[in-house]
Amino acid sequence: MESQLAVPPLDTEDWSYNQILSLTIANKISAFLSLVGSGYIIFRNLRLPERNERLKLTYHRIMLGLSAHDSLSSISIFFGSWAMPEDNLHSDKMIGNYGSWGTCTAQGFFIYYGYLSCVMYNSFLSTYFLLYIRYGWREEQFRAIEPYCFCVVTGITLSISIYLAATESFNPTVVSWCFIQSYPINCEQYEEFECIHGKDTTQLLLFLTFLPICCAFIVIACCMTSLYRHVRSVEAASRKYMVTGRACRRASLSSIRSKEVFQIACLYVGVFVLIWAPPVVSYFLSTLYS
């Protein structure tokens, strides 16, 4: 019987009931707020009569795909401990775990699929801003490569998610939902405990979760640096070659437009960095000093 098996000590071993409950509620609140934000973007893009005009633009289609996948991940996180198996070895440290191993795997699958898709869409979004502002790409050029980009996102994310589900890598975690985790929790860290599910999940978590985020940070940093330098050069040129008449107005409008789009890019990319930078830094610090 699983209930008779010894389990490794958890990181939350000394947590009280109220602390575990607070974490569970906080996860649901953050997931709900994320869902509301993504739902609003989806609503704005799909509402009539602006829908057809909006969806003609690659930017809005990227935002729609990003928001849809974020919604999928947020809904799965909102279910939290409800999807975790009722008969798992750590039930005494969980609240509201009414699910089964099937619901746990499904939750981990959709959280990971949504997460990895959002990471890739954010990389595409920053690349889009770079091509649009600095290199002057037209909508026809974006449409030519857009289907391939979407196919790459779907193909990679689905393939990895299916692999993780097939290898039983989605298991209960200490953060109130199912994700990439060995079972019993922390069994990989102790030689005296045997893992029942999800062996080698430490490496999987590093290469399939944190590595994509780091790659996205590199892409975003390169794109935003290039954009910043371009916007500064446009402003400097408009001041240097200030003339009267129509040429002046065109230069001024180009500078203003570039600056406005750059500010929008900073907003969306800044939110992504703000959300994902703390867990990445925390992970590498804990790995360094463990």
Q: Supply the DSSP string of 172-207, one letter for each residue.
A: E-TTSSEEE--BSTTGGG-TTS--SB-TTHHHHHII
Residue 20 included in any domain? yes
Using an 8 Å Cβ cutoff, are 122 and 272 in contact? yes
Q: Which residues form the domain of 22?
A: 14-211
- Among residues 10, 220, 5, the alpha carbon closest in space to that of 129 is found at 220
Distance of CA 168 to the CA centre of its chain: 22
Whether residue 96 is contained in a domain is answered as yes
Which residue in this structure is represented by tokens 């940070």?
Answer: 217
- Residues 139 and 130: their CA atoms lie apart, in Å, by 14
* pLDDT in the model for residue 15: 79
H or E element, residue 170:
strand 170-172
Nearest by Cα to 268 from 230, 228, 224: 224
| Intra-chain end-to-end CA distance of the chain, in Å | 33
**Does residue 219 sit within a domain?**
no
Give the sign of the dihedral formed by CA 10, CA 208, CA 267, CA 218: positive
Could you report the per-residue pLDDT of 72-112, keeping only the tens digit for each?
999 999 998 999 999 888 888 888 889 999 999 999 999 99
In this predicted structure, what is the pLDDT of residue 261?
Answer: 64
For the record, the structure tokens of 29 come out as: 């609140």
Residue 38 lies in a domain: yes
What is the three-class DSSP state of 99? strand
Please report whether residue 244 resides in a domain. no
- Whether residue 235 is contained in a domain is answered as no
Q: What is the pLDDT of residue 258?
A: 61
Q: Which residues of the chain have pLDDT under 50?
A: 1, 3, 244-245, 286-290
Other C-beta atoms within 10 Å of 87: how many? Answer: 12
Rounded CA separation 72/57 (Å): 23
What's the number of domains the chain is made of? Answer: 1
Query: Taking CA 77 as the corner, what is the angle to CA 74 and CA 81, rounded to the nearest 5 degrees?
Result: 160
180 occurs within a structural domain = yes
Are residues 187 and 92 in contact, defined by beta-carbon separation less than 8 angstroms?
no
- Is 141 domain-assigned? yes
How many residues in total does the chain contain? 290
Helices (H) and strands (E) in the chain, counts: 8, 2
CATH value at residue 33: 1.20.1070.10
